[in-house]
Structure 1
């Protein structure tokens, strides 16, 4: 195999496995350690990899443009709709519930059926959706409005949240990766962090496209989460991290299977 072919194969391996060691290259391509190192040096010169001690990683992808809230609503997937339906079904009459400002959490609000519930939110969209639901009291937190993404934030929001205790908090996320949950905006992340602290049960709603993404601001760790509702299981390494921290993972497929068995 020529060096160019081997280098392409190394990139393919990195895209599938996230990292590669010199030993991996020697074993996969039956080359010496010196040859493996030369391949990595050349790939680094091309800015295709980041060399580490004993191997290499792919460079972090540049942050993609984040659509505004209304743009994201136009592309809410069937997976998100199913996640929202399952989440709404977990709410019991009489509960106090915190909702954040994500589109997946809005899918939960749209399918809300539990009456005699009290909802606390910083999302003007969640408040609007729930205002038409009978027997649902809505407290919209006051503060500075982020017009593009339609959430309220600021010191006053965090201070008001600290006075409440809720049975459940439904939290969306911009990314799920090593270390926990990520948000694009620090202002939004700080409010999510406070919401999680004020709830007895924290339920994260995220489709599988969020797995492996680490955005600008980390607002929560696995120890803060009780349940993750998603459409597909994450990669084994991430799934093991979740389970080690006691996070229950519920997929839409598992839920549908359970529903069919009960019928």
Structure 2
């Protein structure tokens, strides 16, 4: 069964194993994931080229900077149907003449596809691929946040990016995160967390986009709670605990 999984799902399983164990022998990893030697070897070569792991004497090590994020290209290809469904729902909250903060997440990348009929929008983003997409849309004025661009991450981060956000104020901040456990929101990188927090601070309302695969998932850094957001949009009905929490904190949930 595992041999037939999409490559992105295999990569996720490999990284999840290494996040728990930090170091594993290739043979042990192969047995745990039920992968052929050749398939695992190709996946490990890919991860090593992307500076996420190191292979040495039959051992696989998780590199220290691997908590940054999975490469954008591979994140962008996973759970596409769920992400597009969520973005279609999110577009209903965008009105003509709105200014939007959009983060660099692979989920938000699909949102512009559903904004084609909106007029006179302004988007401020730190997402490279998102900026390239929006740059072809005549109905959107684009402001790209400069700063340091780590290899394979697909976004600008750091002090310069953070400072630039201070100049802008938006009607909506729309973003996604790595996971939610209970009512706590998690992310893998502190720079990305700081940027998203500043976007929320400088917006009238904030919208959280999370597909159902992210529920119950805890990442490296706790960002905050659902109470940081005005609206949660997902593709399935959340657990009762989340629905109750949302009701008590005046958070609108769309699914």
Distance 1:219 1:66 in 2: 15
Task: Find the counterpart in structure 1 of residue 144 from structure 2.
Answer: 140
Equivalent residue for 2:226, pick from 219, 222, 228:
222
The one of 93, 96, 103 aligned to 2:96: 93
Could you tell me the TM-score, scaled by structure 1's length?
0.67
CA distance in 2 between partners of 1:65 and 1:232 (Å): 28
Q: Distance in 1 between matches of 2:109 and 2:147?
A: 20
Determine the structure 2 residue equivalent to 1:188.
Answer: 192
Q: Contact 1:177–1:238 (CA<8 Å) still a contact in 2? A: no
Q: CA deviation at 1:238?
A: 2.5
Structure 2 residue 136 is matched with structure 1 residue 108: no
Distance 2:204 2:139 in 1: 22
Match of 2:208 among 204, 215, 236: 204
| Distance change (3 Å), C-alpha of 1:220 and 1:196 | farther
Q: 2:70 aligned to 67, 72, 82, which one?
A: 67
Matched residue, 2:175: 171
Preserved contact between residue 67 and residue 188 of structure 2 (Cα < 8 Å): no
CA contact (8 A) 1:76 1:103 kept: no
- Quote the offset at 1:67 in angstroms: 3.4
Structure 1 position 224, deviation (Å): 1.6
**Aligned position for 2:249:** 245
SS in structure 2 at match of 1:144: coil
Structure 2 CA distance for aligned equivalents of residues 89 and 179 of structure 1: 25
CA–CA distance in structure 2, aligned partners of residues 179 and 76 of structure 1: 22
| Cα distance in structure 2, aligned partners of 1:146 and 1:233 | 36
Q: Which structure 1 residue ranges, 4+ long, deviate > 4 Å from structure 2?
A: 63-66
How many Å separate the matches in 2 of 1:242 and 1:173?
A: 18
Q: Does 2:98 align with 1:84?
A: no
CA contact (8 A) 2:67 2:189 kept: no
For the 8 Å contact 2:87–2:107, the answer to whether it is kept is: yes
Q: For 1:200, what is the secondary structure of its paired residue?
A: strand
Higher Rg? 1
Structure 1 unaligned regions, length at least 5: 1-62, 252-263
Please list the CA deviations of residues 232-255 of structure 1 after superposition, one character each: whole Å capped at 9, or x if unmatched: 12211222222221111001xxxx
Report the CA distance shift for 1:67/1:159 in structure 2 as closer, same or farther (over 3 A).
Answer: closer
Mark the runs of 5 or more structure 2 residues left unpaired by the alignment.
1-65
- Residue of 126, 129, 132 corresponding to 1:128: 132
